[in-house]
A and B are shown apart, each in its own frame.
Chain A
């Protein structure tokens, strides 16, 4: 049974419904990311799990117990805020010790735990500093230590790296992943940065309009997107209809034959990334050929992007710098059979 389960959740503010019939389940020890553009409901979802707000309908189960109406201070969950939310009037030590003090632990134990955690996040010697005397990355680590020191049953991150510069962001996400694997905590991570969440997570749930479109491992999402939305999200730019004619054989609406590595009863939609299409001079005898004419040629540094008009619409193709094509030139496109992916 899953550690955390959200069932049929409806949530929002007043008339504004953000999540409807929302389900999510997280296994113990998993690092799950909620990925989506702003307004897709990912932060609403996270704050509800933390207990900052209650769902309008549905239930939250944690470890088999109903947590829907458990007040936030009774859930042993850690939360790392986008703004860090460090207490400005307390020193680093007191910030980290806050959760332990609320649990009324012995002073000596608090001291030991806090010092240990500060060592873990590499902030030894900073105990007496105030948050405003520290850099963004250091504050981030204080926030992390403060959330970790209470040994939370679940740790939540709300876009924790978005206020850091690009270099630090990469460093910190490796750090977070390392800590998670060392300590084995269960984590839910909210972000709008695809690279960040693919790098850090066991599973990624991509959200769109209050719904999880797909929840899978990063490589599964990258290689086998299930919907057009996800496919576009992970870099597929060419979409076309396929009609089955035989085993792993389809026709395009233009009549051209295409062989694939998958099979699908009846009709379906297929898609392919720009980099998985090869370009040849017109009339070349190549597998999965589509005839077209170059519309635009754009220089992208290492690669060149061609927009090619065909009978079944425009194809975006990414080619090697060495290949020279000019606008208006007739070409033949060859789709790599193993790179064509079916979507719903």
Chain B
């Protein structure tokens, strides 16, 4: 009887498992293989070559730096917003719809919008010149600044959504209990609300960080020739240089870094709130 039941469960997960195996695990595995077999024999040579390359080093560090910075900005901007929507907003549905609204437009359209806004004749530069802060329009596009702006706008909704999900589960009684036991508003925030929302902060951060690391359109459109990141580099190797081995090496490095930093985030979370 139990055996039979188990087989039915197997049937249920079979389609999904098959799909992921065929279209994700096998390609990923062959990608890894390609990166370790540059000339039909196993070697680390492609990796050594890549990490010895100054251009790659810069790109590698830029990718991580921009992703971490965008994650931090998303956390700083998203936390108060999520807190307000979850705990103090009367029109929660409307506020949430507004927060996730940007997700309904494609990243291509959004990147082009930023070009219009941040360009030499864009509204930001017009304002800077008009207000007399700067004499000439500034270079706001095709650099790390515009990329960060693009990343933050692209992934902020993810951060807000993960945080709201967790904050909704923090009972108001807990903050009242903290206050009743003598905690100030700030005290009950730091001792109760923050530790209990860390898991949402981490989920959001993993989503934002992974998103930033792997985003292609935004860095391609808002970045310049000297601000390449790993994802645009993969494209460059594969499509422009036709070097599939190097492309797969960069891809493997990208995956490894993303997984490493994501697991680091979760470890921090477990330190702060061992229960969640």
Contacts and interface: CB of A to CB of B under 8 A. Distances in A.
Contacts of B21: none
Nearest to A52: B176
Interface in B191-249: 191-192, 195-196
Nearest to B178: A98
A119 interface: no
Interface string A50-83: 1110000000000000000001110111110101
Contact of B195 (A71, A89, A150): A89
B98 interface: no
Interface string B153-189: 0000000000000000001011011111111100100
B176 A85 contact: yes
A159 to B, nearest CB: 12
A85 B181 contact: no
Given A89-B274, A89-B276, A98-B191, A81 B196 contact: no
A88 B275 contact: yes
Interface size class of A (residues with CB under 8 A): 20 to 34
Contact of A102 (B171, B173, B176, B183): B183
A50 B276 contact: no
Contact of A73 (B179, B192, B273, B274): B179
A32 to B, nearest CB: 19
Contact of A77 (B180, B195, B276): B180
A103 interface: yes
A51 B184 CA distance: 13
Most A CB atoms within 10 A — which of B187, B191, B274, B276?
B191
Nearest to A149: B181
B182 A102 contact: yes
Most B CB atoms within 10 A — which of A78, A79, A98, A132?
A98
Task: Give the secondary structure class of A's interface.
Answer: loop
Contacts of A81: 173, 176-177
Contact of A83 (B173, B179, B180): B173
Nearest to B170: A88
A83 B177 CA distance: 11
A87 B174 contact: yes
A198 interface: no
B275 A150 contact: no
A87 B192 contact: yes
Contacts of B181: 73, 98-99, 102, 146, 150
A62 B274 CA distance: 40
B182 A99 contact: yes
A133 to B, nearest CB: 10
B183 A73 contact: yes
A171 B88 CA distance: 40
A73 B180 contact: yes
Given A73-B183, A98-B191, A85 B177 contact: yes
A73 B177 contact: no
A130 interface: yes
A310 B171 CA distance: 55
B272 to A, nearest CB: 8
Contacts of A76: 182
Nearest to B180: A79
Top 7 closest pairs, chain A to chain B, by CB: A102-B182, A99-B181, A85-B173, A85-B177, A72-B179, A89-B273, A79-B180
Interface of A: 50-52, 71-73, 75-79, 81, 83, 85, 87-89, 98-99, 102-103, 130, 132, 146, 150
5 contacts: A51-B180, A75-B180, A79-B180, A87-B192, A89-B273
Given A72-B180, A73-B180, A98-B181, 6 more contacts: A85-B173, A85-B176, A87-B191, A89-B196, A103-B182, A130-B275
Interface of B: 171, 173-174, 176-184, 187, 191-192, 195-196, 273-276
